[in-house]
Structure 1
Amino acid sequence: MPPNEPKLLDQVRALIRTMHYSIRTEEAYVDWIRRFILFHKKRHPSQMGKAEIEAFLSHLAVDRRVAASTQSQAKSALLFLYQKVLKLEVEWLKDVVAAKQPQRLPTVLTFDETKTRLSHMNGETWLIASLLYGSGMRLMEACRLRVLDLDFNMRQVTIRNGKGAKDRLTMLLGTLVVPLKSHLDLIRLQHQRDCGQGVGDVYLPFALDRKYPDAAREWKWQYVLPADALSEDPRSGAVRRHHIDEQRVQRAVKQAAQDANIQKKVTPHPLRHSFATHLLQSGYDIRTVQELLGHKDVRTTQIYTHVLNRGGNAVLSPLDR
């Protein structure tokens, strides 16, 4: 490597940020690439090929016993490294054998189980769990909501830069209008105090802060569910109030399930599954549910038909006639 050329992992970070990947993707890809290099005794990736990648992926599956999705993420990181960073022709990388991901049915709560779980929550974690079930959002989509994304007149929520870097609209539950407005009144006072102390800026994506220098302090750009404390941005070093920590929500949902004695998977994501399933049970067509969930392929949405007591293709068993 020429003496003035950035180190490989620094090149990876720089390109990821240029392509507007999330910080979680950056951390995961850098970690996998580092592990790959260390696994092969610090050899440079340009000196390795298909055999070394297959050996690393096999090590993850056999020795580390990682899940198929974890192995797939490692493969994606290496694909990014070779194609985007090193700019090598690696068509063979797509043919590298990886573990097949199992097709599992989603965990779905009944209507009563959902209401019971929510009744054991309160405050901001109750708000965000209600948004997951009432609007079908993913956890991080709800955590990253900004004030301008809420349209109380149209009763809709704009989800920006969701999975696949896509925007979409979903419904705003009527019963959440008053609690959300009351919550925003408190958050606005907090934001005004932060501005008075010189720390009222919020993170803006895609260099919007350079295009609109004053936007970072505007109320409409603030997070609907901000963190309790200020923190340092790991990329820029700026001290800001970030959005709520998703782990806090996960812990609250788990505790609520234990308090309600619900013996099902206790993560926030089943609330989204329940949203989709209950809509289908209520007679809404699958295309509408697909759009609300933001699924690219309707076949992804069809998996929720498994709980409709009519089989995967809505076929009525002859025994039920």
Structure 2
Amino acid sequence: MKSLFLTMIKDHMYSKRYAKSTIEAYLFWIASYIRFNNMQHPSSMGDTQVESYLNHLVNSQNVAQGTKAQALNALSFLYKEIIKSPLSLSLDFVKSERPRKLPVVLTQTEVSALFKHCVAKHYLPCGLLYGSGMRLMEVLRLRVHDIDFDYSCIRIWDGKGGKNRVVTLAVELIPQLRSQIQLVDSYLQLDLKNPLYSGAYMPHLLRKKYPNHNKQLGWQYLFSSHKSGPVDLSGLKFVQSRGYLIAA
């Protein structure tokens, strides 16, 4: 049985527009903290238990500084936003002594070698990752209308932390992007012939505001799956819209 307390925290974080990865990480540390303290409810605990748990992570688990910081952030969120009793700013716990890993950055020669071995269907997404500095999920969630050829830019909506931003578009990728959009359009034309096709997913109640936009080219995923599958909703079967999956 799922914890109602953790489910409540998850729903609260979703309402605050936290990223899915952040929600999963915070829930992991909160659940670990509760198990460490013999399943006591966090409202009955405080600074002392948090200090003991952080010391356990460093002394027994030998976690890195960044990992311990993430656990502390999760517990700080728990007590500030959920319990409504913020932790003390003067917590006393052992600091991690594991050295930070130096970041590894590919040279131009290594990047060129990487693209030479990149298969054709993955070349464009990888080119956007490298040329525009986008995160992986940002690339996979791109819609056709996010590509602005006139200004040579890409608009990213609901990125990390629910923030929007604009990144540059490498002009070398424009011919491939136009070809990819033509491919997406061909998928859409096939889907539109199916009377059960439900259209692309639209967030934040935009489906109700613009009921016909989900079947327009601009709202289709740029890197959509090559297939769609049935999904059962209230006893009625609809054709699921193509998700942002690159064909394997």
TM-score (norm 2): 0.80
Structure 2 SS opposite 1:175: helix
Are residue 20 (structure 1) and residue 21 (structure 2) matched?
no
- Structure 1: distance between partners of 2:90 and 2:211: 43
Q: Is the 8 A contact 2:19 2:162 kept in 1?
A: no
TM-score (norm 1): 0.64
Name which of 182, 201, 204 aligns with 2:202.
204
Equivalences for 1:274-313 in 2 at 5 Å?
Answer: none
Tell me the CA shift for residue 93 of structure 1: 5.6
- Structure 2: distance between partners of 1:67 and 1:123: 38
2:138 corresponding residue in structure 1: 141
1:74 corresponding residue in structure 2: 71
Are residue 160 (structure 1) and residue 157 (structure 2) matched?
yes
2:235 corresponding residue in structure 1: none
Structure 2 SS opposite 1:170: strand
The two structures, once aligned, show a CA RMSD in angstroms of: 3.0
1:218 corresponding residue in structure 2: 216
Are residue 179 (structure 1) and residue 176 (structure 2) matched?
yes
Deviations 1:292-311 (A, max 9, x none): xxxxxxxxxxxxxxxxxxxx
Change (3 A) 1:112 1:118: same
- Structure 2: distance between partners of 1:231 and 1:57: 46
Structure 1 SS opposite 2:177: helix
Aligned AA (1:242): G
Structure 1 residue runs of 5 or longer lacking an equivalent are 1-5, 249-321
Change (3 A) 1:40 1:214: farther
Q: Is the 8 A contact 1:79 1:93 kept in 2?
A: no
Tell me the CA shift for residue 96 of structure 1: 5.7
Aligned AA (2:243): H
Structure 2 SS opposite 1:192: helix
Q: Is the 8 A contact 1:33 1:81 kept in 2?
A: yes
1:107 corresponding residue in structure 2: 104
Count of paired positions: 236
Tell me the CA shift for residue 219 of structure 1: 2.2
Aligned AA (2:65): A
- Structure 2: distance between partners of 1:169 and 1:17: 24
- Structure 1: distance between partners of 2:133 and 2:99: 24
2:88 corresponding residue in structure 1: 92
- Structure 2: distance between partners of 1:230 and 1:65: 45
1:34 corresponding residue in structure 2: 31
Aligned AA (2:244): H
Q: Is the 8 A contact 1:29 1:74 kept in 2?
A: yes
Tell me the CA shift for residue 33 of structure 1: 1.6
Change (3 A) 1:83 1:94: farther
Structure 2 SS opposite 1:92: coil
Deviation larger for 71-80 or 171-180: 71-80
Aligned AA (2:163): K
Equivalences for 1:35-74 in 2 at 5 Å?
Answer: 35-74=32-71
Aligned AA (1:77): A
- Structure 1: distance between partners of 2:163 and 2:39: 38
1:150 corresponding residue in structure 2: 147
Structure 2 SS opposite 1:109: coil
